[in-house]
Amino acid sequence: MAKKLFGTDGVRGRANSYPMTAEMALRLAAAAGRYFRKDQKEHRVVIGKDTRRSSYMVEYAMTGGFASTGMNVFLLGPVPTPAVGLLTRSMRADVGVMISASHNPYHDNGIKFFGPEGYKLSDVAECEIEELVAGEIDLARPENIGKVTRIDDALGRYMEFAKTAFPRQRILEGLKVVVDCANGAAYKAAPIVLWELGAEVIPLGVEPDGFNINEGCGSTCPQTAAEAVVANGADVGICLDGDADRVMLIDEQGRVADGDQIMGLIAKRWSKSGRLNHNTLVATVMSNMGLEKHLEDEGLTMLRTGVGDRYVVEAMRKGGFNLGGEQSGHIVMSDYVTTGDGLMAGLQFLGALVRSGQPASELARVFEPYPQLLENIRYDVGPDPIKDRHVQAAIKAGEAAFGSLGRLLIRKSGTEPLVRVMGECEDAALLKKVVCEISDAVRAAA
CA 347 to chain centre: 17
Which residues neighbour 238 within 8 Å (Cβ) at sequence distance 6 or greater?
177, 178, 179, 180, 190, 194, 225, 247, 249, 250, 342, 343, 346, 349
Distances (CA, A) of 123 to 6, 320, 342: 9, 20, 25
Task: Report whether 47 contacts 185 (CB < 8 A).
Answer: no
Helix axes 289-297, 259-272, angle to 10 degrees: 10
Q: CB count, 10 Å around CB of 169?
A: 4
Helices H / strands E in the chain, number of each = 14, 18
Q: Decide if 300 contacts 254 (C-beta within 8 A).
A: no
CA distances from 242 to 79, 86, 247, 276, 312 (A): 10, 18, 10, 29, 21
- Report, in this order, helix, strand and coil percent for the chain, each rounded to 5: 40, 20, 40
**429: which residues sit within 8 A by CB, 6+ positions away?**
none
Distance (Å, whole) CA 153 – CA 77: 10
| Angle at alpha carbon of residue 336, lines to 334 and 340, rounded to 5° | 65
Q: Are 17 and 118 in contact (CB under 8 A)?
A: no
Residues marked active site are found at 102
DSSP assignment string, 261-312: HHHHHHHHHHHHTT-SGGGEEEEETTS-HHHHHHHHHTT-EEEEE-SSHHHH
